[in-house]
Every structure is written in C-alpha cells, then in structure tokens.
Amino acid sequence: MSFVAVVPVKPFDAAKRRLQTALDTAECAGLAEAMLRDVLDALAGSRACTSICLLGGADARRLAQHGSLRWIDDAGHGGLNSALELAAAKLAAEQVDTLLVLPGDLPCISAADLDALDAVHRGGLTVCPARRDGGTNALMLSPPDAINFHFGPDSARRHLEAGIAAGLASRLHDAEAFGLDVDTADDLLWLCQHAGDTHTGRFLQSTGIADRLLRTAALATGRKP
C-alpha cells in the first residue's frame, strides 16, 4: 500500500512547554524544529509515503515552502482534532486511499519503521500507542475520513473503539520506535544519550544541552560527570 502523511506542527515558540523544567523557551523551540526535521527526513525516505502535508500555522507554512511540501492551514478549526478532520476530508475528496497522522516529536523514527507500519496496515485502522499515557503516536486510516479523531491521553483506546464502531478492521501496532515521543525530562535525557547523528542529536550537542543535562544527571546520582 501507500499513504499520504499529515504532520501536525504546533508553533515552535509554544512547543514542548512541559520540558521547561530542563530547557528555556528558545531551546524548546529549537528542539521542536529539530525533531520535526528528523520526522520529515524519515517520511521522505519511506518508499510507501507519496506526499507529506504539514498541518499548522506560520512555522508549518515556512517549512513547507522550503521543503516543497504541502501546507494545510489549521487556523480557526477549533483544535488539533478538528483540524485533522478538515485535512482528512480534503484528502478523501482527492481520492487519497490512506492517511498517516504522525506527530513531529518522534525523532528516532526511521523510513524502515514507516514502511513496516504500512506493511502491517492492510486497510482499516492501525494505531501506534504512546507508552506513557495511552495516547496515539501514529495513526494510519483507510479511507482518511473513516472516523473522527481523538488525539490526547488514552486516545489509542478511543481510536480503536471508533474504528470498530465504524466497521473497520482495527489493530494496534505496538512498535518501540513509535512509542518514543519526547514529553518529559527523562525522555529528553534518553534522547541526549541516543539521538546520534540526527538533526535532534546535532542540536542537543551544538547547543550544549546534552552536556549540561548529562552532567546534571551524573551529579544527581553521585557519579563523576
């Protein structure tokens, strides 16, 4: 199969506020953009991805223009789920068969992970759950407007229930790569250790964030920095 990806993009200056115990506002914004660029690289490398849409405001529009991607404005649509339903309706009207909703904070995702998800999908609904709060870290849907969206805590369960109620073949794809979103200081520390040679890894190294957080963690556990 193949899919069109929709990636929601929150304004970078408002992104990742839960990390402000460890990062300042500018660092949160830079991290959000770096992680998004890693997600876009993975999508660009996926054999199954035929098009990438950025759903958001000015930051999404800027990246779309620079990267020859499609931009869908989310202004005035009452939040993420309503904006996603608008995007899904647009794609369904264009005869797109399959939609992938993919957050921009999965910096360790790879093109191979996306192609494996596409191979598992086989139509209907496939949900990749978040490890921490039961949220949804990726959702593949055929057709794109078959259900309403319920992104937020416990949304993996709610999406599955909606798919079953709509008569769709519905399944969980509990793959490690899709569970590793970045929402807490512990997530960030793990990322400092594992991001490697990615946009995110280079950002954490070049800004000194990785050294700072790893040193703080070592001191907290009594180890030598």
Residue 102 within a domain: yes
Residue 129 within a domain: yes
Residue 124 parent element (H or E): strand 124-129
Give me the domain span that covers residue 64: 3-180
Task: Give the mean pLDDT of 173-177.
Answer: 91
Residue 194 within a domain: no
CATH of the domain at 134: 3.90.550.10
Residue 224 within a domain: no
How far, in Å, are 3, 48, 91, 174, 175 from residue 119 at the CA level? 11, 9, 21, 14, 13
Number of domains in the chain: 1
pLDDT at 206: 96
- What's the whole-model pTM score? 0.93
Residue 82 within a domain: yes
Residue 191 within a domain: no
State yes or no: pLDDT of 224 exceeds 60: no
User: What is the maximal distance between C-alpha atoms in the chain?
Assistant: 59
Residue 142 within a domain: yes
Residue 219 within a domain: no
Would you place residue 222 in the very low, low, confident or very high pLDDT band (cuts 50, 70, 90)? low
pLDDT digits (tens, 9 = 90+) for 204-214: 999 999 999 99
Tokens standing for residue 59? 């930051």
Task: Give the mean pLDDT of 9-15.
Answer: 91
CB 18 within 8 A of CB 114: no
pLDDT digits (tens, 9 = 90+) for 155-174: 999 999 999 999 999 999 99
Task: Give the mean pLDDT of 16-33.
Answer: 92
pLDDT digits (tens, 9 = 90+) for 35-74: 999 999 999 999 999 999 999 999 999 999 988 899 999 9
